[in-house]
Copies of this chain bind each other. A is one copy, B any other.
């Protein structure tokens, strides 16, 4: 069992409605030690991939992206969830469905920050059905960049998003893959991890 699986068992909480709460260390309160280990693990996996940018989506993905980018010494660029007045110029856009909020939203990214010369590692804190990741991949396709890897902290394996991406040929690294969980007992079962 790796550091993240251990931490999920220690501090994660399973709630009704298919919710795994990890807000004490990953997406509301942030444990910088855990974030650092996540970043280092992604670096060890992709350090020879000549990564030029770390791509993520606001908000909690930013913390992981920054801690990952430190090791690669490359910039982070994060997709925004709404068009701000301060974002002008040419934008990549894609539409994402959020199951948490049960609505569609647009994500945008300034074209000048992602080009066909880039080799990108996409990171995020969570993946379930994979809708946010599909939006980021759509933006990468628009940019014509190379997607060298996908790094996810916690994948809900039973929701199928990760396996669909693996089948499509993406190099996906999820540090903890939840195969099942039970709100009644609080139990969480992980798929055997490739990350020691």
Question: Chain B contacts of A36 at CB under 8 A?
Answer: 70
Chain B residue at smallest Cβ distance from A99: B85
A109-124 CB contacts (< 8 Å) to partner B? 109-110, 112-113
- The proximity string for A residues 15-48 relative to B, scoring 1 for CB distances below 8 Å and 0 otherwise, is 1010101011100111111011000000000000
Would you give the shortest CB distance from A119 to chain B, in whole angstroms? 16
- The proximity string for A residues 77-97 relative to B, scoring 1 for CB distances below 8 Å and 0 otherwise, is 110101011111000000000
| A contact residues, total (Cβ < 8 Å) | 44
Q: How many copies does the complex hold?
A: 2
Cβ B75 vs Cβ A30 within 8 A: yes
Question: Chain B contacts of A33 at CB under 8 A?
Answer: 73
Cβ A32 vs Cβ B113 within 8 A: no
A133 interface residue (CB < 8 Å to B)? no
A183 interface residue (CB < 8 Å to B)? no
Question: Chain B contacts of A129 at CB under 8 A?
Answer: none
Cβ A66 vs Cβ B110 within 8 A: no
- The proximity string for A residues 55-66 relative to B, scoring 1 for CB distances below 8 Å and 0 otherwise, is 000111011011
